Amino acid sequence: MTHAPVALITGASSGIGLAAAKALAAQGWKIIATGRNPERCAAAREQIIAASSSGDVTMITGNLALLAEARRIATEVQQLTDRLNLLANNAGGMAKEKVITSEGLEENFAANHLGHFVLTRELLPLLQKTAAASGPGSVRVINTASDAGEMIPGFNLEDMQNLQNWNYGMAYCTGKLANVLFTKALGKRVKKDGIVVHAFHPGIVDSHFFDCFDADAKAQVAAKGMQSTEEGASTLIWLATSAEAQENGGYFANSAPREPHPWASDETIVERFWLESEKLVASAEN
């Protein structure tokens, strides 16, 4: 008996996450999706079900800026399914101001990186189990990054949350570079399991991402030309399903390789980044 593949897509109550969920549902995938807003999640579920060939869709409401929420979501996923073929770490955004969460972390960095770091760590046994049963390349972790991560020379590895020098632009760029570094470090760790890990830049997408921008900033972005959410999700879907995308640890745009930030090729930096991420997670758990 052939089982339908299962995808967990974070940030799927709108934007490219929702577009990807609908596209994969139409291909027969079982969809588990997350979002922060209950009303938006409910509306998204109806859209995904309408697109689905099976109707097997579950929405989980939770805020990945809180690591306890990331662990809860992982637990719920493990209760819903005995296999996981795709983990799409897609949720994220840009904050207008520095906010420290109840766990003592900078909210934007937690939402863009640390929540997914914890979610992936908690789900790794399920991903490994699925890969062992299904074969190399059948399980993939896809991280939604951005060319914003290419716009900075790097960041302070001793202050990855930019607490000493915070501004919203640097915070977002740091989080997006973190997605690429996470991809490289994770890919190295799970290659032996046959799990494929990639990051991608979706382009400038007409979505709720720009809700925090003022009118002038929105006009400047719009002048550059925006893609639809379906266009923005196309690389995610390709990375999740294509036989061509089985090399590990890549960075992509428009369903083709893209040159990543130079830090992604520096193994010392990548490993230090992983270590510092573990330290921040531990600090929130204690």
Instruction: Report pLDDT for 55.
Output: 85
Q: What is residue 205's DSSP assignment?
A: B
Q: Are 276 and 223 in contact (CB under 8 A)?
A: no
Burial of residue 38, with CB atoms counted within 10 A of its CB: 0-12 exposed, 13-18 middle, 19 or more buried:
exposed
Query: Using an 8 Å Cβ cutoff, are 73 and 64 in contact?
Result: yes
CB 6 within 8 A of CB 87: no
CATH of 6-285, one of 3.90.1150.10, 1.10.357.10, 3.40.50.720, 1.10.3720.10: 3.40.50.720
pLDDT of residue 22: 97
Q: Is 40 exposed, middle or buried (0-12, 13-18, 19+ CB in 10 A)?
A: middle
Task: Report the amino acid identity of residue 58.
Answer: T
Model pLDDT, residue 229? 86
Burial class (CB in 10 A: 0-12, 13-18, 19+), 12: buried
How do the residues of the chain divide into helix, strand and coil, expressed in percent and rounded to 5?
Answer: 50, 15, 35
**Confidence at residue 226, expressed as pLDDT on a 0 to 100 scale:** 66
Distance CA 199, CA 263 (A): 14
pLDDT in tens, 5-33: 999 999 999 999 999 999 999 999 999 99
pTM: 0.93
Is the distance from CB of 175 to CB of 92 less than 8 angstroms?
yes
Nearest residue to 211 via CA among 221, 197, 224: 221
Please report which helix (H) or strand (E) contains residue 239, including its range.
helix 229-241
Q: What is residue 209's predicted lDDT score, i.e. its pLDDT? A: 52
- pLDDT tens per residue, range 93-107: 888 899 999 999 999
What was the pLDDT predicted at 205? Answer: 61
Strand partners, 286: none
Burial class (CB in 10 A: 0-12, 13-18, 19+), 243: exposed
Distance (Å, whole) CA 58 – CA 71: 17
Q: How far apart are CA 60 and CA 217, in angstroms?
A: 32
Residues with Cβ within 8 Å of residue 106, at least 6 apart in sequence: 98, 99, 100, 161, 162, 163, 166, 171
Nearest alpha carbon to residue 11 among 208, 158, 283: 208
pLDDT at 245: 86
Q: Residue 227 has what DSSP assignment?
A: B
Q: List the chain residues with pLDDT less than 50.
A: 207, 210-214, 216-219, 221
